[in-house]
Structure 1
Amino acid sequence: MRFTDKYLQGIKPKLVDYRVFEKGTDKGFGIKITAAGAISFFMQYAFDGKRRFYNLGRYPSVSLADARERCRETRLIIDKGIDPQSAGKEVAIGSVKDLLDNYINNMELTGKKTSQEVKYRVTKDCANLFDLPANTITPIHIRNILHTIIKRGSEVEANRVRAYLHRMFVLGIHHDHDPKMMSNKFIFNLSINPVDAVPKNQAAESIGDRALSFAEIKLLWNDTTLSPQFSIAVKLLLLYGGRSSEVIEATKEELDFKAMVWALPPTRTKNKKWLLLPITPLAKQLFDDLWPYTRNSPFLFPGRYSDDKPINQTSLGHAISKITCIDKFIPRDLRRTVKTRMGEIGIEKSMRDRIQNHALNDVSSTHYDRYDYLIEKRNAILKWEKSLIELESTL
Structure 2
Amino acid sequence: MLTDKAIRDAKPRASVYRLRDANIVARGFGITVAPSGAKTFFLSFTSPEDCKRKQVALGRFPKVTLKEARIKAAEMRAAVDSGKDPAAEKQQKINEAVARRALGTLGDLMALYAADLEEDGKRAAKEVYRITTKDIPSILLARPARLITKDDILDILTPIAQRGAKVHADNVRAYIRAAFELGLNAEGMTRWRGKAPKFDLMLNPVATVRKSVSRKPRGQRSLSSREVAELWNTNLLTPPMHLALKMILATGQRVEEVLQTTWSEFDRSQMLWTIPGERRKTRGKTSEPHLVPLTRFHIDLIDEIQRTTAHPIFLFPARGGIAARRYDALTSTVRRFVKSSGMVSFAPRDLRRTFKTLAGGAGIPLEIRNRLQGHAMTDVGSLYYDRHDYLSEKRAAMGTWVEALSLAVGRQNNVR
Q: Give the shorter-chain TM-score range.
A: 0.7 to 0.9
Q: Distance in 2 between matches of 1:180 and 1:334?
A: 39
Letter in 2 for 1:392: V
The match for 2:376 among 359, 364, 371 is: 359
Number of the residue aligned with 2:241: 230
Pairing 1:373–2:387 present? no
Letter in 2 for 1:242: Q
User: Which aligned runs of 4 or more in structure 1 are off by greater than 6 angstroms?
Assistant: none
Secondary structure in structure 2 of the residue aligned to 1:343? helix
Cα contact 2:181–2:204 (8 A) shared by 1: yes
Q: Distance in 1 between matches of 2:402 and 2:196?
A: 58
Secondary structure in structure 2 of the residue aligned to 1:190? coil
Q: Distance in 2 between matches of 1:219 and 1:90?
A: 61
Alignment deviations for residues 172-231 of structure 1 (CA, whole Å, 9 cap, x no partner): 223121123222263223343221211111258422211111122122222222222222
Q: Distance in 2 between matches of 1:309 and 1:242?
A: 20
Q: Distance in 1 between matches of 2:411 and 2:100?
A: 76
Pairing 1:93–2:103 present? yes
Letter in 2 for 1:359: A
Shift of 1:365: 2.1
Q: Distance in 2 between matches of 1:185 and 1:145?
A: 24
Cα contact 2:186–2:196 (8 A) shared by 1: no
Q: Residue 90 and residue 199 in structure 1: after superposition, are their counterparts in 2 closer, same or farther (change >3 A)?
A: closer
Pairing 1:334–2:339 present? no
Number of the residue aligned with 1:308: 322
Q: Distance in 2 between matches of 1:143 and 1:150?
A: 10
- Structure number with greater Rg is 2
Gaps spanning 5+ residues in structure 2: where? 1-48, 52-82, 87-98
Secondary structure in structure 2 of the residue aligned to 1:200? coil
The match for 2:407 among 368, 371, 390 is: 390
The match for 1:172 among 168, 183, 192 is: 183
Shift of 1:90: 9.6
Pairing 1:288–2:303 present? yes
Number of the residue aligned with 2:59: none
Matches within 5 A, 1:78-117: 93-117=103-127
Letter in 2 for 1:342: A
Number of the residue aligned with 1:86: none
State the percentage of identical aligned residues: 35
Number of the residue aligned with 1:118: 128
Q: Residue 351 and residue 394 in structure 1: after superposition, are their counterparts in 2 closer, same or farther (change >3 A)?
A: closer
Q: Distance in 1 between matches of 2:215 and 2:381?
A: 38
Shift of 1:60: 5.7
Secondary structure in structure 2 of the residue aligned to 1:176? helix
Q: Distance in 1 between matches of 2:234 and 2:164?
A: 33
Matches within 5 A, 1:2-81: 61=85
Q: Distance in 1 between matches of 2:218 and 2:100?
A: 48
Letter in 1 for 2:312: S
Secondary structure in structure 2 of the residue aligned to 1:334? helix
Alignment deviations for residues 1-26 of structure 1 (CA, whole Å, 9 cap, x no partner): xxxxxxxxxxxxxxxxxxxxxxxxxx
Alignment deviations for residues 18-76 of structure 1 (CA, whole Å, 9 cap, x no partner): xxxxxxxxxxxxxxxxxxx989xxxxxxxxxxxxxxxxxxx9659xxxxxxxxxxxxxx
Cα contact 1:263–1:277 (8 A) shared by 2: yes
Matches within 5 A, 1:155-304: 155-184=166-195, 186-202=197-213, 205-272=216-283, 273=287, 274-304=289-319
Q: Distance in 2 between matches of 1:205 and 1:38?
A: 63
Q: Distance in 2 between matches of 1:333 and 1:99?
A: 34
Q: Residue 376 and residue 204 in structure 1: after superposition, are their counterparts in 2 closer, same or farther (change >3 A)?
A: same
Q: What is the alpha-carbon root mean square deviation over aligned residues?
A: 3.2
Q: TM-score, normalised by structure 1?
A: 0.73
Gaps spanning 5+ residues in structure 1: where? 1-36, 40-58, 63-88
Cα contact 2:148–2:205 (8 A) shared by 1: yes
Shift of 1:120: 2.5
Q: Residue 124 and residue 235 in structure 1: after superposition, are their counterparts in 2 closer, same or farther (change >3 A)?
A: closer
Cα contact 2:167–2:213 (8 A) shared by 1: no
The match for 1:147 among 158, 172, 182 is: 158
